[in-house]
């Protein structure tokens, strides 16, 4: 009997070390908007939300037109940065190896990210991950985190039950999204949110490196296989 197993990954802060790029793009966006840029500690707290909601939280009281203008500045800043010599969007050490190992071990692999499809395509093309992801859902596709839409749609698209899936991310929004969709939640400590913030979001478990992630996912797969054979 083949047991479907699905690992759903966030991108920024989980697979992609985008801390420098996101802060730089936000600084450029705020400067173009005529405002003082946010501190990194303010930026990191909104990573994972839809861009519209992130801008709303960074500038409380801003009207919808202002949010749209600021968001457009952010998008343009990222586009400009990607054209600059030496620009990179590096994966964390061990990320590619874990993704490919999961595929080899029969896992389905999905993405649930606040990035745009254009941003996801840049990462996938830049790191030759075309053969890894079965489906990726972005905030472009429907309600953003922490709404369960992205995870629920991955489950529906791939025909996987929630009990056979794990949401893996670095923010409280990832954990809350996974919990709301009825899947296991695995937090990683190396991204944007603190361990306490991730735990408060509903993480079933938090890991500190990809080796520990591999072990946790192996245990999950073994437990699900055992349950399916009972």
> pLDDT tens, 174-221?
999 999 999 999 999 999 999 999 999 999 999 999 999 999 999 999
> pLDDT tens, 11-23?
999 999 999 999 9
pTM for this model (two decimals): 0.94
> pLDDT tens, 77-125?
999 999 999 999 999 999 999 999 999 999 999 999 999 899 999 999 9
Q: How big is the CA angle at 196 (ends 195 and 201), to the nearest 5 degrees?
A: 95
Return the percent helix, strand and coil in the chain, to nearest 5: 55, 15, 35
b/e code 30-67 from CB counts within 10 Å (16+ = b):
beebeeebbeeeebbbbbbbbbebbbbebbeebeeeeb
Q: How far apart are CA 117 and CA 19, in angstroms?
A: 19
CATH code for residues 6-17+92-229: 3.40.50.1000
> pLDDT tens, 35-79?
999 999 999 999 999 999 999 999 999 999 999 999 999 999 999
Q: What is the residue extent of each domain of the chain?
A: 6-17+92-229, 19-83
Q: Is the peptide bond before 146 cis (omega within 30 degrees of 0)?
A: yes
Instruction: Give phi and psi for 47, each to the nearest 5.
Output: -65, 130
- SS3 track for 16-85: ECCHHHHHHHHHHHHHHHCCCCCCHHHHHHHECECHHHHHHHHCCCCCHHHHHHHHHHHHHHHHHHHHCC
């Amino acid at each position: 009997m083949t047991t479907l197993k699905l690992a759903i990954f966030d991108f920024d802060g989980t697979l992609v070390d985008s801390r420098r790029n996101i802060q730089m793009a936000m600084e450029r966006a705020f400067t173009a908007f005529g405002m003082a840029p946010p501190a990194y500690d303010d930026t990191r707290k909104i990573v994972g939300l839809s861009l519209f909601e992130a801008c709303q939280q960074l500038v409380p009281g801003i009207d919808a037109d202002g949010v749209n203008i600021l968001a457009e500045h952010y998008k343009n800043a990222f586009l400009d940065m990607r054209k600059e010599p030496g620009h990179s969007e590096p994966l964390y050490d061990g990320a590619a190896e874990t993704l490919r190992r999961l595929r080899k071990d029969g896992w389905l692999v999905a993405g649930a990210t606040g990035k745009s499809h254009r941003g996801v395509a840049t990462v996938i093309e830049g790191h030759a991950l075309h053969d890894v992801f079965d489906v990726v859902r972005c905030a472009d596709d429907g309600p953003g985190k922490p709404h369960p839409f992205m995870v629920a749609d991955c489950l529906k698209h791939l025909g996987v039950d929630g009990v056979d899936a794990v949401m893996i991310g670095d923010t409280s929004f990832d954990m809350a999204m996974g919990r709301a969709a009825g899947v296991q939640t695995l937090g990683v400590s190396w991204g944007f949110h603190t361990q306490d913030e991730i735990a408060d979001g509903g993480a079933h478990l938090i890991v500190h490196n990809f080796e520990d992630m591999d072990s946790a996912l192996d245990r999950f797969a073994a437990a699900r296989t055992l349950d399916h054979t009972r």
